[in-house]
Structure 1
Amino acid sequence: MLKSCYVFSSLLALWLLVSAAGHGAVNVNVSRVIFNQGATQAAVSLINDGDYPVVVQAWVDNGDPRNTPDSASAPFVVLPPVFRLNSAESKLLRILTHRAGLPGDRESLFWLNIYQIPPESRAEPAGEKLRLALRTQLKVMWRPKGVGPLERKTVEKITFIRQAGSIIAINDSPWNISLIDVRYSKYSLHAGVIPAFSQTVLVPAMSPEPSQNTINFSVINDDGNTWEFTASVK
């Protein structure tokens, strides 16, 4: 699943990051990139479906939206890092890795950032100008030897418990599992990623606490499609 946010830029060099849903001119052919141990590079195809050219900057980081290419730290390099993409033009990004320092017992999760800036409009009046840029993020996963594709039977082993009025999801697997469309009683939310060998507060403390003992959710698999699940809450 792709994450997007808008960034406003002006001649005063003010940069504001605002969460938003939307679609930019540049589209990506995949929703995630998976490196299995031994692989040193992967490719992502971009195409500009807009009617105007954009400047694209790409890098990999830990997913923090405050990161910039200068502050990002990840064992990946994206080539080319900056380029112009004309209307209807396509471009292949190469992601290279040396995997230095990554754990050997679990999947490591990073994010590919695709930052696109539209051209300035010459029709705008003189003075401060405002441009709307879009930053898209998609998952980059590195899997060590022995951690193969994510399977339904792995997701079925996630356990859900009540704790202090909250619902906790426990992931005892070496995969980072992406949950979406979580439904419990009257609550509905987008949960995000449950990291490998960890637990996450899925539903915050409720008052009064529902008596329902089942939870419904979807998981995004390696192909970018979804699996549907129903599980017990203990």
Structure 2
Amino acid sequence: MKKYCWALKVTLTLAILFLVFANKTYANVIITSTRIIYPASEKEVTIRLENSGQQASLIQAWTDKGNEALTPDQADGPFLITPPISRIDPNKGQSLRLIYTRDTTLNDQESIYWLNILDVPPKPMDSENYVQVAFKTRIKIFLRPKGLLGDPIQAAKNITWKLISSDKKIILRGTNTSNYHVSFNEISATTIEDKYKGSGGMIAPKSQKDFEITDKPRNYKKPTSVTYTWINDYGANETITTPLLD
């Protein structure tokens, strides 16, 4: 009996932790954009939140450099958010001001940070036995220094790809020579007849990254091109097919 109770407690704890960090699809409060573009020359950028639920929510906002385990009091992003804590009533919205607090002339490449929105629903009025679940949403903040050379559209179009391995796994190496991050929803190795689908990811400025194609079929044929779907500044998907380099 004690072992059963212990297992039940562990299961409930894991379930709660999963819900706390669940995808934003389950939260009442949503961010109206999928990414934030912050020109460093701007004094501030406005972020719009909407509460589509039937009850009020208390939200807390903070930024980080990429460690999603950080709590609000450990936030290490170079931004000030006002208000950092606010209540959003049902079917209402709230605007947050994101203010960059560092020198805008230090970098010659785009930098990436993360915005966190914690959505805490109120305590139920008609029950003393309940579990309160908070939902955290994270989206990317792309900080663009003033006078940054190039543009994000050409950055995505100019990604070059090379087949690194096709023995046990198909591995594609993408090279980004631009000053911008390029994000992908899907990357596929393609032949004239077939498409071997892979997952997405992101390549940082002036860098390379390897992507594994997991659905290699038995009747495998060596791919000759890559089809990739990249995400533009507005969160829309654009698809490009380009030959693989030798």
Q: TM-score, normalised by structure 1?
A: 0.82
In structure 2, what residue type is equivalent to 1:214?
S
Q: Where in structure 2 are there 5+ consecutive unaligned residues?
A: 1-12
Structure 1 residues 149 and 33: alpha-carbon distance in aligned structure 2, compared to 1, 3 A threshold: farther
For residues 55 and 148 of structure 1, what CA distance do their matches in structure 2 show?
A: 40
Deviations 1:74-102 (A, max 9, x none): 11011111111111221110001123488
Structure 1 residues 61 and 180: alpha-carbon distance in aligned structure 2, compared to 1, 3 A threshold: same
Partner of 2:176: 171
Partner of 1:135: 136
Structure 1 residues 130 and 44: alpha-carbon distance in aligned structure 2, compared to 1, 3 A threshold: same
Partner of 1:196: 205
In structure 2, what residue type is equivalent to 1:213?
T
2:72 aligned to 69, 76, 81, which one? 69
C-alpha root-mean-square deviation of aligned residues, in Å?
A: 2.7
Q: TM-score, normalised by structure 2?
A: 0.78
Partner of 1:113: 116
Q: Tell me by how many angstroms 1:210 deviates.
A: 4.5
Confirm or deny: 8 A CA contact 2:150 2:179 kept in the other structure: no
Q: Tell me by how many angstroms 1:204 deviates.
A: 5.5
Partner of 2:146: 145
Partner of 2:4: none
Confirm or deny: 8 A CA contact 1:36 1:143 kept in the other structure: yes
Partner of 2:44: 41
For residues 83 and 176 of structure 2, what CA distance do their matches in structure 1 show?
A: 36
Alignment of 1:1-234 (within 5 A): 16-17=17-18, 20-21=22-23, 22-100=25-103, 103-124=106-127, 126=129, 129-147=130-148, 150-165=151-166, 166-185=171-190, 187-203=196-212, 210-234=221-245
For residues 86 and 125 of structure 1, what CA distance do their matches in structure 2 show?
A: 23
Structure 1 residues 103 and 214: alpha-carbon distance in aligned structure 2, compared to 1, 3 A threshold: farther
Greater per-residue helix proportion: 2
In structure 2, what residue type is equivalent to 1:179?
F
Q: Tell me by how many angstroms 1:229 deviates.
A: 0.3
Percent identical pairs in the alignment equals 26
Structure 1 residues 233 and 119: alpha-carbon distance in aligned structure 2, compared to 1, 3 A threshold: same
User: Could you say which structure has the greater relative contact order, defined with CA pairs below 8 angstroms and 6 or more residues apart?
Assistant: 1
SS in structure 2 of the partner of residue 132 of structure 1: coil
Greater per-residue strand proportion: 1
For residues 80 and 211 of structure 2, what CA distance do their matches in structure 1 show?
A: 33
- What count of residue pairs does the alignment treat as equivalent? 220
